Amino acid sequence: MTLPEKARETIFHTSGEEYAWKRADIAEVVESLTEENYAILGGEAWLVENGAIWGMLPLRSGGTAVFAWDSDKQTSETWKQFVRRAAEETLSWIEKLNAEDDVPIEKREFVCYNLTYVTEKEYSELCEHNQKA
């Protein structure tokens, strides 16, 4: 997947082509992906500290949790409608999940959000692959 240039400006980037952004930057990233006609299939909160990525976030109350969401294309919607709805759902989920408030105070600055996004062509290829499996 090629990431739009605008979305590359404020990221954490792994060697495996995974990206994550701070909450303060996520709305602009989602807007950039939407403008470039990418659909966001879902995402998750990560704790990114000293180059390490943790998908299981420590909780202030003890234990750990995964903060994740997904968006599925409805058969009745066009690609453009799906792109727009998935973007809105992504922003809504990040607001609802509020991972920063659930992690210990000293870890809040390390919370980032990873997004899974695709073009219409990539989505079609993914669907074809899944039908064959």
Q: How confident is the model at residue 131 (pLDDT cuts 50, 70, 90)?
A: confident
3-state SS class at 1: coil
* pTM for the structure as a whole: 0.87
- pLDDT tens per residue across span 47-67: 998 888 899 999 999 999 999
Highest mean pLDDT, choosing among 10-14, 20-24, 126-130: 20-24
Q: Reduce the secondary structure of 57-115 to three states and give it as a string.
A: EECCCCCEECCEEECCCCCCCCHHHHHHHHHHHHHHHHHHHCHHHHCCHHHHHHEEEEE
CATH class of the domain comprising 5-132: alpha beta
Question: In the chain, where are the structural domains located?
Answer: 5-132
